[in-house]
Amino acid sequence: MTDLYAVIGNPIAQSKSPQLHAAFARQLGHDVRYEAILAAPDSFRETVLAFIASGGCGMNVTAPFKLQAFELADELTERARMAEAVNTLKFSAKGILGDNTDGVGLVDDIQDRLGVSLAGRRVLMIGAGGAARGILLPILQSRPADVLVVNRTAARAQALADALASQGPIRGGPLMAAGGEEYDVVIHATSAGLNAGEAPPVDYRVAPDGLAYDLAYGEDTPFMRQARDQGATRVADGLGMLVGQAAESYRVWRGAMPDVRPVLEQLRLT
């Protein structure tokens, strides 16, 4: 029997998730159907419940519904609780499980595919919104020496650091707290570069064997340009994280981990 999954969001036409999950299912020889569902802003809950009633096994959740998915879930994983956002729903007789695979997608991309270990390293996170919150727990679980979160609104960075303080060495401050110092891994998690904007003005250097990573994807994002201008030799966009979070969702649903690399290579070509 064909198992049914979907991604839900608004807008949704741009989503690469159907393409990714179709590739995973082909790779693993699974009989899976994966749809894209556009939901009106005020009909998230009823759209999910209708999908469950039609036999759906799981869903990916994208903007603007990650918080509503968090509230809808009957049970949450620790990483979803910390993220206060859900990008993966799994349906079973026990109810609705809410998970968040964004952080693992990012950490796997940085460590496994880009080959930069986070253990014992200094991490600078630029941004303290939903995207930053979603990835900080898996970063701290990778045992960095230190994580500094800087944000235009310093109080938000401080609050995020306070919320995660029990999980590892993390501090928060204004953009200028980066202080022109050297970091091993710099992660850009603001929405400032989207829609032809500029990356926030932050003064940092990237260690010679380090990495500057943009959560957004594109060949040459404003943050990637900024990082290169400040001397970074290795920069990456977030396409690997996108494929990685999808693969981890697939694993949560079906217990089998797809091979990310060939799917990522294919995506780079399209």
Binding site for ligand ATR (CB under 6 A): 127-131, 151-153, 156, 190-192, 200
The distance in angstroms from the start CA to the end CA of the chain is: 31
Residue position matching structure tokens 């802003």 = 41
Least gap, CB of 178 to ligand ATR (angstroms): 13
Least gap, CB of 243 to ligand ATR (angstroms): 19
Query: In the chain, what's the furthest Cα-to-Cα distance?
Result: 57
Say whether 66 is catalytic. yes
Residue position matching structure tokens 């198992």 = 3
Closer residue to ligand ATR in complex, CB, 110/128: 128
Least gap, CB of 200 to ligand ATR (angstroms): 4
Closer residue to ligand ATR in complex, CB, 87/190: 190
Q: Give the Å distances, CA to CA, from 43 to 9, 53, 70, 85, 104.
A: 11, 15, 15, 18, 29
Least gap, CB of 209 to ligand ATR (angstroms): 27
SS3 per residue for 54-114: CCEEEEEECCCCHHHHHHHCCEECHHHHHHCCCCEEEEECCEEEEECCHHHHHHHHHHHHC
Closer residue to ligand ATR in complex, CB, 102/184: 102
Tokens linked to 17:
């998730």
By DSSP bridging, strand 75-76 and strand 95-99 are parallel
DSSP H helices in the chain: 17-28, 44-53, 66-72, 78-83, 102-108, 130-141, 154-164, 222-229, 239-254, 260-269
Q: Which of 16, 66, 90, 94 is catalytic?
A: 66
Q: Is residue 99 within 8 Å of 77, Cβ to Cβ? A: yes
Closer residue to ligand ATR in complex, CB, 116/135: 135
Tokens linked to 166:
């029990």
Q: What phi, psi does 188 have (nearest 5°)?
A: -100, 115
Residues with a catalytic annotation lie at: 66
